A and B are shown apart, each in its own frame.
Chain A
């Protein structure tokens, strides 16, 4: 352990100020590890499994970026962040990118000086209630006690929604999803509200998921995506196009199964060739190796594969593609061309 931080701290008098802030890309390459901020635990999106391995949809994005930059999908240091700490962690350089189901909003983009590189999940805030309550619409929730996961845009949307519909409610702010569950299950809240994907993930973890319904109202737009610091466009490009490569791969029919074959030699489809580095110099332009996109896709498969593996219909979470289908299938996923 060369120059461990502990040793560094002991010799703090001798510790010169660190190297002048180079580009994040160079930092990551020099470090050999990508520091990726994720949630402290939301099943399906980012949660450690019983062996301590991080699993999930957001985790897949981190691994893809690590594979693109470093060629190794396991060269990721996952940094659990809460709603409170995530932005500081990113701003202070503790993490290189944040993939923590974070909603792309104006003020975060402009005022907090972050750069959202894309959207990896189109979400919206919804409500979950026990079936026994007999509620079929959010408009019937007058006077209800609502459990909210704080630190997101959730409490703002909620306040706006109830205000515009002129109904009263009793907010119960909860720090993490894990703590909201018992409150909701024991009946200390009538309603649990968070992003619809989060609701599905939470419901999937219940003993009797069938006893709970997600109400039809989606009260907000929640485009969730990875973000990086403002002002380092090169790094932003790397993360953006790593994500885009995953989505494009699905659109172009490149999967983890056939990618080995496809990347052997240039094929008929020039866009696939450019994506996989058998033609053109896209990787070089990004400052990466020619097979960056191939590595990214091999890390966990294309967008569709990551989706199906972590949150798709065959998982306990059971989310449909919905808005997150390719534009060719009527969804919103539409990546700029690779050329």
Chain B
């Protein structure tokens, strides 16, 4: 707040530091700065004194030492002889994995529920309302614990698949849903599979190009070119053809019960699934509300105007409502993604080895380096959060209403 009055004539007096608005802000800032430095100095000197009294020091050397413990879910090479730093990286990747997967499912569930909440079907409408309210109003930690407990208690364990009178069996002979997690067939890429994958990527590019062409035709010549069936054709046909031409280089590795566990295939652990599922359905309840609010925010006049132009309902949704609703939906959506990432730190409640479990858990326990590990942990989350915020800002700027 600046004043526009003429500055008083005359020399500078000390009392102007507090009474004159031109200088007062400098006084305040100076005081704030001094207070800040004093506070940090105070905390720092306490830290030094405490560490000295305890004979400890701050050192990140432990990161280079062998961790000594095993981690069950590893996205990169890791053994118990790897370093603590490596363990932290394994944990960080696990955090990112669970966050990305949970964001994906949360969005899908959230959008479906959000749209269904606006459904004219009274029963579905109410049911979705109940779902949203129940999940939004109970702490996510409780949901994680409940889902883990239910998961372990309800699904059959590998031992029930064993023997002649097994009480459980695999679905389609290739999927096993057990209390320890889900086992899926894993694709094995043999020689020549690269070409199949390349073909697939090429056909995706082809679909994109074709759709672009169709749009061009529509805008330039007013001709409607069918896109659905050619797209589907492009998606499947070349890849499948190439798959057989190359002599079926991609095979599936089926899980099979050997010894104590299923072996082979992809193993999604119970902790991972419980955490992902809990985070997804918890956050989906919030996303559903955002989606609903976004759609409701578009005034009915828009729909009516679009209809009066002769657009069909599907096109009204695609061309008029959604582009505008997205502007409202996406910012809160991204902050929900941020929440998922942060909430994924609750993984320790179910023993999922994310970065809070490795760096902030076992490494902290084993080395006793509390300050160092907690600082690293915070830095990691901070970097993720700030990156997501940066993305959000870029998006917000790009969709900002251009006022002229």
CB distance from A102 to the nearest CB of B (A): 11
Which B residue sits closest to A17, measured CB to CB? Answer: B46
CB distance from A194 to the nearest CB of B (A): 14
Across the interface, do B54 and A143 meet the contact criterion of CB distance under 8 Å?
Answer: no
Chain B window 151-178, contacts with chain A (Cβ cutoff 8 Å), 1 for yes, 0 for no: 0110001111000000000000000000
CB neighbours of A182 from chain B (8 A): 149, 152-153
Across the interface, do A188 and B179 meet the contact criterion of CB distance under 8 Å?
Answer: yes
> Is B351's beta carbon under 8 Å from chain A?
yes
Across the interface, do A159 and B68 meet the contact criterion of CB distance under 8 Å?
Answer: yes
CB distance from B38 to the nearest CB of A (A): 13
Across the interface, do A186 and B153 meet the contact criterion of CB distance under 8 Å?
Answer: yes
Chain B window 345-380, contacts with chain A (Cβ cutoff 8 Å), 1 for yes, 0 for no: 000110101000100011011101010000000000
Across the interface, do B55 and A230 meet the contact criterion of CB distance under 8 Å?
Answer: yes
Q: Which of B118-153 contact A (CB under 8 A)?
A: 149, 152-153
Across the interface, do B365 and A151 meet the contact criterion of CB distance under 8 Å?
Answer: yes
Across the interface, do A188 and B157 meet the contact criterion of CB distance under 8 Å?
Answer: yes
Q: Which of A94-146 contact B (CB under 8 A)?
A: 108, 111-113, 132-133, 141-145
> Is B300's beta carbon under 8 Å from chain A?
no
> Is A229's beta carbon under 8 Å from chain B?
yes
Contacts A84-B365, A155-B70, A171-B70 known; A142 to B259 CB distance under 8 Å? yes
Q: Which of B160-211 contact A (CB under 8 A)?
A: 160, 179-180
Across the interface, do B69 and A156 meet the contact criterion of CB distance under 8 Å?
Answer: yes
Across the interface, do B72 and A183 meet the contact criterion of CB distance under 8 Å?
Answer: no
Across the interface, do B361 and A187 meet the contact criterion of CB distance under 8 Å?
Answer: no
Across the interface, do A91 and B56 meet the contact criterion of CB distance under 8 Å?
Answer: yes
Q: How far is the CA of A224 from the CA of B80 in the complex (A)?
A: 24
Chain A window 153-165, contacts with chain B (Cβ cutoff 8 Å), 1 for yes, 0 for no: 0011011101100
Across the interface, do A231 and B365 meet the contact criterion of CB distance under 8 Å?
Answer: no
Across the interface, do A145 and B180 meet the contact criterion of CB distance under 8 Å?
Answer: yes
Across the interface, do B362 and A150 meet the contact criterion of CB distance under 8 Å?
Answer: yes
Contacts A182-B153, A183-B152, A186-B152 known; A144 to B260 CB distance under 8 Å? yes
CB neighbours of A307 from chain B (8 A): none
Across the interface, do B259 and A155 meet the contact criterion of CB distance under 8 Å?
Answer: no
> Is A173's beta carbon under 8 Å from chain B?
yes
Across the interface, do B69 and A159 meet the contact criterion of CB distance under 8 Å?
Answer: yes
Per a CB cutoff under 8 Å, which of B263, B271, B366, B370 touches A156?
Answer: B366
Which A residue sits closest to B370, measured CB to CB? Answer: A88
> Is B280's beta carbon under 8 Å from chain A?
no
CB neighbours of B261 from chain A (8 A): 143-145, 170, 190
Per a CB cutoff under 8 Å, which of B260, B348, B349, B361 touches A145?
Answer: B260
> Is A174's beta carbon under 8 Å from chain B?
yes
CB neighbours of A141 from chain B (8 A): 260
CB neighbours of A87 from chain B (8 A): 368, 370
Which B residue sits closest to A83, measured CB to CB? Answer: B365
Contacts A88-B370, A143-B261, A143-B263 known; A188 to B152 CB distance under 8 Å? yes
Per a CB cutoff under 8 Å, which of B81, B153, B159, B351 touches A172?
Answer: B351
CB neighbours of A88 from chain B (8 A): 368, 370
Q: How far is the CA of A188 from the CA of B353 in the complex (A)?
A: 16
Q: How far is the CA of A162 from the CA of B69 in the complex (A)?
A: 11
CB neighbours of A175 from chain B (8 A): 348-349, 351
Q: How far is the CA of A163 from the CA of B349 in the complex (A)?
A: 27
> Is B9's beta carbon under 8 Å from chain A?
no
CB neighbours of A113 from chain B (8 A): 54-56
CB neighbours of B68 from chain A (8 A): 155-156, 159-160
Q: How far is the CA of A318 from the CA of B351 in the complex (A)?
A: 30
> Is B402's beta carbon under 8 Å from chain A?
no
Contacts A84-B365, A156-B69, A186-B153 known; A229 to B260 CB distance under 8 Å? no
> Is A208's beta carbon under 8 Å from chain B?
no
Which A residue sits closest to B46, measured CB to CB? Answer: A17
Q: How far is the CA of A151 from the CA of B370 in the complex (A)?
A: 13
Closest 8 A/B residue pairs (Cβ)? A187-B157, A159-B80, A155-B69, A143-B259, A144-B260, A151-B365, A113-B55, A112-B368
Could you list 19 A-B pairs, sorted by A, with CB under 8 Å? A133-B260, A141-B260, A143-B258, A143-B259, A145-B261, A150-B362, A151-B362, A151-B365, A155-B68, A159-B80, A171-B69, A173-B72, A183-B152, A187-B179, A188-B152, A188-B157, A229-B54, A231-B54, A231-B55
Taking Cβ atoms with an 8 Å cutoff, the residues of A that contact B are 21, 83-84, 87-88, 91-92, 108, 111-113, 132-133, 141-145, 150-152, 155-156, 158-160, 162-163, 169-175, 179, 182-183, 186-188, 190, 229-231
* Further pairs besides A88-B368, A175-B348: 12, Cβ < 8 Å: A113-B54, A133-B159, A142-B260, A144-B259, A145-B261, A151-B361, A151-B365, A175-B349, A179-B351, A182-B153, A230-B54, A231-B54
